[in-house]
Amino acid sequence: KAGVTQTPRYLIKTRGQQVTLSCSPISGHRSVSWYQQTPGQGLQFLFEYFSETQRNKGNFPGRFSGRQFSNSRSEMNVSTLELGDSALYLCASSLGWGDNEQFFGPGTRLTVL
Amino acid sequence: AQSVTQLDSHVSVSEGTPVLLRCNYSSSYSPSLFWYVQHPNKGLQLLLKYTSAATLVKGINGFEAEFKKSETSFHLTKPSAHMSDAAEYFCVVSDQGDYKLSFGAGTTVTVRA
């Protein structure tokens, strides 16, 4: 069974631009969560989606948004990029909402110049 | 609110000697606890999880952890370190009523030949 896939693996953007990251969960998994990993703040929860609805949200500004499609694939969007948004963005999938055993993808490394 | 404190930011061991990674947690409800490992430039891999069954949890690659409610601890151990164990390890807590994961700051393990 294929694992969680994330595209692209690497991105370079400039301040003020926007970016969209994609995540395909493990087949059969219906819940997708997103995390930001930085050296200074560590791993922080962004949001969780289940059945195309955001079920849980972390403490990030509104520039960070996401969505989930009917096939459970998810995208996250960051608008008006700032230097501090440079990070590894990790996607994790689980069977369903309330299932906290999460399986992580390799991440997308975003660099903002 | 849930939180995790990993007591050591860096642990260095010789190959073949035991590894101990310390983790204390804070949780309002019956927690689920996890240990994840992250190798360089890779995503997170689940080592083991505790979900209110046996207090001694066995995981992959010879790792195990013991849940001690009285000490609010969930320390990770391995009897004999291998070079491939060099990585960053994260202790994670999830409250029963709130399924998002809260990560510790991580412990970097170095294995000396």
Tell me which residues of chain A have a pLDDT lower than 50: none
Q: Which residues of B touch A (CB under 8 A)?
A: 32, 34, 36, 41-46, 49, 90, 94, 98-106
Q: What is the pLDDT of residues B25-38, one digit of tens each?
A: 998 777 889 999 99
Report the chain B residue with the minimal C-alpha distance to residue A96: B99
pLDDT surpassing 70 at residue B22? yes
pLDDT surpassing 90 at residue B107? yes
What per-residue confidence (pLDDT) applies to B97? Answer: 63
Nearest to A56 among B41, B43, B100 (CB): B100
- Hey, what long-range contacts does B70-74 have (CB within 8 A, 24 or more apart)? B71/B24, B72/B24, B72/B25, B72/B26, B72/B27, B73/B22, B73/B23, B73/B24, B73/B25, B74/B23, B74/B24, B74/B25, B74/B33, B74/B35, B74/B50
The Cβ of residue A110 has, within 10 Å, a number of other Cβ atoms equal to 20
What per-residue confidence (pLDDT) applies to B98? Answer: 66
pLDDT surpassing 80 at residue B62? yes
**Rounded mean pLDDT of B71-100?**
91
Average pLDDT over chain B, rounded to an integer: 92
Query: Which of B37, B50, B99 has the highest number of chain A CBs within 10 A, making it the mutation to test binding with A?
Result: B99
What per-residue confidence (pLDDT) applies to B52? Answer: 76
Q: Which chain B positions have a beta carbon within 8 Å of A23's beta carbon?
A: none
Confidence band of B53 (pLDDT split at 50, 70, 90): confident
Q: Mark yes or no for CB contact B99/A104 under 8 Å.
A: no
Q: Cα dihedral angle (A109, B108, B32, B80), rounded to 10 degrees? A: 130
Distance CA B101, CA B2 (A): 9
What per-residue confidence (pLDDT) applies to A2? Answer: 81
- Tell me what percent of the residues of chain B surpass a pLDDT of 90: 73
Q: Which chain B positions have a beta carbon within 8 Å of A106's beta carbon?
A: 41-43
A53-57, B54-58, B85-89, B99-103: which is most confident: B85-89
Q: Which chain A positions have a beta carbon within 8 Å of B44's beta carbon?
A: 90, 92, 104
- Coil/strand/helix, residue B103: strand
